[in-house]
Amino acid sequence: MNIDILLGLQWGDEGKGKIVDAISPGYDIIARFQGGPNAGHSLEFNNVKHVLHLIPSGIFHAEKINIIGNGVVIDPAVFKKEIETLGPPVTELVRRLVISARANLIMPGHRILDAAYEHSKGCSKIGSTLKGIGPAYTDKVARSGLRVGEILSDNFRELYDVHLKNHLSILKNYDFTYNLEEYEAGWFEGIEMLKKFRIINTEYLINDLTSKGKKLLAEGAQGTMLDVDFGSYPFVTSSNTISAGACTGLGISPKKIGDIFGIFKAYCTRVGSGPFPTELNDDTGTLLRDLGHEFGSTTGRPRRCGWLDLPALKYAIMINGVTQLFMTKSDVMSGFSKVKVCTSYLSSGKECLEIPFDNSPVEPVYTELPGWESDISGIREFTRLPENLKSYIKFIEDQTGVPVTMVSVGADREETIFR
């Protein structure tokens, strides 16, 4: 059992990047298995903040192998920009990063289609990051996608033109203006950058190395409540963000999975449209946004903020089979005299513990707990955390039946407490 998974239990942005970076020293391989440049994974060390979109969050550890798996959709233009801004020279990054030949490409047409679809939806927009995710996965499932391995073929340009023609013919049905050239130039430069990297059947590498005892950490993107099957459909992303997604997105057997680390914020945030029962449209919500710097890592949009939602957390724990809980951003709630946790919902006046499949409105039922007043960002031992924070954690553990084994008290790599 030398494959563990770390994934988000809420609506994304739980702090996955920070924690993957922090626990990478315990692994040999760090692999992304789904999503694409819609993700924005932040991590901080030596007072520098990095935001990763496509590249796994183990990339700053020189001796680790990072893999972009087959389940990821890659925009070459975003990839190039990210490689050039990371810091280490390209030759060094080529040593650290391997890409699946089976990963699908996000093409310029996908980005334009994403924008055209959202534009046509008027006030029922999904709130997509407009990175082309939905159209790229649509082509993948329709068996009309273009994959990374194909960039090495002699007729790549012809293949690209066939796909472009299809996208442009769909776009004719939309009243939407776009500038294709603007995307295309950067995209083809990105293709040249991708060619410098090892493009292989990563499923063989992964299974070979893990069968020889190497440890792999699968890094989720987005969060369980954005999963295409189990999230608040249609206000979701287009991939399986849950633990099962790691098997299909990397080519690994469920029998090989060990721990499933479920990461959640001490409160909740959501960016984009869709239900959010505990959302606070008041001063407390604004305070959480300000104190937690809750603005999207990819789009800069303000994140909606609210209290912790336990029915949603329990649902995510169930779907993923979470073995350990990691809680982030507890420092953001320091100073609140009281904090609330949603323990059930009311639906048409009746108690409801399930997440409705049709997004029908539910009203949260809260339990109020005492807050913790002190600044906790300098604390490194669990026992030294304020008693009220420990009670908050105990309450979550009792409600979910899963231990909270890591508490994050700041954005920096060092501001992490393991129990």
Interface positions with ligand GDP (CB under 6 A): 8, 12-18, 40-42, 44, 293, 297, 328-329, 331-332, 408-411
Name residue, tokens 């020279």.
Answer: 89
* Separation CA 52–CA 137 (nearest Å): 20
Calculated CA dihedral for residues 116, 119, 121, 125, nearest 10 degrees: 110
Of 195 and 293, nearer to ligand GDP (C-beta) is 293
- Nearest approach in angstroms of CB 107 to ligand IMO is 15
Q: Are 270 and 288 in contact (CB under 8 A)?
A: no
Q: Which helix (H) or strand (E) holds 206?
A: helix 202-211
**Is 290 marked active-site?**
no
* Footprint on this chain of ligand IMO (rule: CB under 6 A): 8, 11-13, 35, 38-41, 126-129, 131, 133-134, 221-223, 226, 237, 271-272, 297
For ligand GDP, the closer CB: 296 or 370: 296
Binding partner selected for residue 126 from ligand GDP, Mg ion, ligand IMO, none, CB under the kind-specific 5 to 8 Å limit: ligand IMO
AA letter at 245: G
Could you say which of 21, 28, 41, 331 is catalytic?
41
Task: Name the token pair of 155.
Answer: 């007729």
Residues 122 and 267 sit within 8 Å (Cβ to Cβ): no
Q: Which of 13, 75, 114, 139 is catalytic?
A: 13
Min dist CB 10 to ligand IMO, Å, is 9
Given its phi and psi angles, is residue 398 left (phi above 0), alpha (psi -120 to 50 degrees) or beta?
alpha
Among residues 317 and 389, whose Cβ is nearest to ligand IMO? 317
The item of Mg ion, ligand GDP, ligand IMO, none sharing an interface with residue 305, based on CB under 5 to 8 Å by kind, is none
Return the one option of ligand IMO, Mg ion, ligand GDP, none that residue 237 interacts with (CB less than 5 to 8 A, by type).
Answer: ligand IMO
Measured in whole angstroms, the distance separating CA 241 from the mean position of its chain's CA atoms is 8
Nearer to ligand IMO, 134 or 285 (CB): 134
Buried b (16+ CB within 10 A) or exposed e, 290-305: ebbebebbbbeeebbb
Choose between 40 and 311: whose C-beta lies nearer to ligand IMO: 40
Residue nearest to ligand IMO (CB): 272
CB of 110 to ligand GDP, least distance (A): 22
- Region 37-66 residues binding Mg ion, contact defined as CB under 5 A: 40
Residue 53 a catalytic site member: no
Q: What does 15 bind: ligand IMO, ligand GDP, Mg ion, none (CB cut-off 5 to 8 Å by kind)?
A: ligand GDP
DSSP structure class, residue 335 = T
Q: Other C-beta atoms within 10 Å of 358: how many?
A: 7
DSSP state of 129: -
Cis peptide before 254 (omega within 30 of 0): no
The tokens describing 320, both together, are 């993923």
Shortest Å distance, C-beta 109 to ligand IMO = 16
- Considering the complex, what minimum distance in angstroms separates the CB of residue 40 from Mg ion? 4
Least Å distance, CB 222 to ligand GDP, is 8
Q: Which of 4, 8, 11, 13 binds Mg ion (CB under 5 A)?
A: 13
Q: How far is the CB of 15 from ligand GDP (least distance, A)?
A: 3
Q: Is 4 in the site for Mg ion (CB under 5 A)?
A: no
Listed residue (16, 4, 23, 5) closest to 264, CA to CA: 16
Please say whether the beta carbons of 10 and 223 come within 8 A. yes
If the CB atoms of residues 100 and 297 are measured against Mg ion, the closer one turns out to be 297
Residue 45 or 295 with smaller CB distance to ligand IMO: 295
Spell out the residues 6+ positions from residue 128 whose beta carbon is closer than 8 angstroms to its own.
Answer: 38, 114, 117, 118, 134, 272
8 Å CB contact between 70 and 100: yes
**Which positions are annotated as active-site residues?**
13, 41
Q: Which residues bind Mg ion (CB under 5 A)?
A: 13, 40, 297
